[in-house]
Amino acid sequence: MGMFQALNSGFKRIVAIWHRRAGKDKSLMNLLATQAAQRRGSYFYFFPTYQQGRKIIWDGMDRDGFPFIEHIPRELVKTKNSSEMKVVMTSGSIIQVVGTDNIDSIVGTNPIGCVFSEYSLQDPRGWDYIRPILRENGGWSAFNYTPRGTQPRVGPVSDGPQQPRVVR
């Protein structure tokens, strides 16, 4: 089952363990933009550091020179704030790139969709903070990474006794 189909079928967690250069962030940026166009709310794209988020999503391009941030179609963008790495969509949704190296920067927010890129390298307090928010508002999360070494982190798939549906 694909990621788009999984979210549309009620899955709340997606774990993408793909090899390097397989298009994890490109695919998940498309997923995030699609979801933000369908349901108004706040959406975060987490990286291990804020600087990685800027280099990869905000300033990064694919091999053909297409910017990752432009996977949010221009006609759906109301405003872009480069200093905050934030896009406000015409739907009213907000997409923002965040680093888990400074998780306090999102205290008080209420996201309904989150992507954790290179999750195995992230500060796990980011997920610890976001998990109860997503549970309360029916939100979803996606985790991607490339395994490193012999014991890769599988990704957080449990929310407690009422485990959400997960696709890998």
- Domain coordinates in residue numbering, the chain: 3-167
Instruction: Determine contact, residues 15/7, Cβ cutoff 8 Å.
Output: no
Per-residue pLDDT tens for 77-88? 999 999 999 999
pTM of the predicted structure, to 2 decimals: 0.84
Q: Which of 32-36, 94-98, 156-160 has the lowest mean pLDDT?
A: 156-160
Q: Does residue 124 have a pLDDT over 80?
A: yes
Mean pLDDT, the chain, as a whole number? Answer: 82
Residue 94 CB burial class (10 angstroms; 0-12, 13-18, ≥19): buried
Q: What is the pLDDT of residue 164?
A: 44
Planar angle of CA 21, 7, 17, nearest 5 degrees = 30
Report the CATH number of the 3-167 domain: 3.40.50.300
Q: Nearest-CA neighbor of 166 among 147, 146, 133, 143?
A: 143
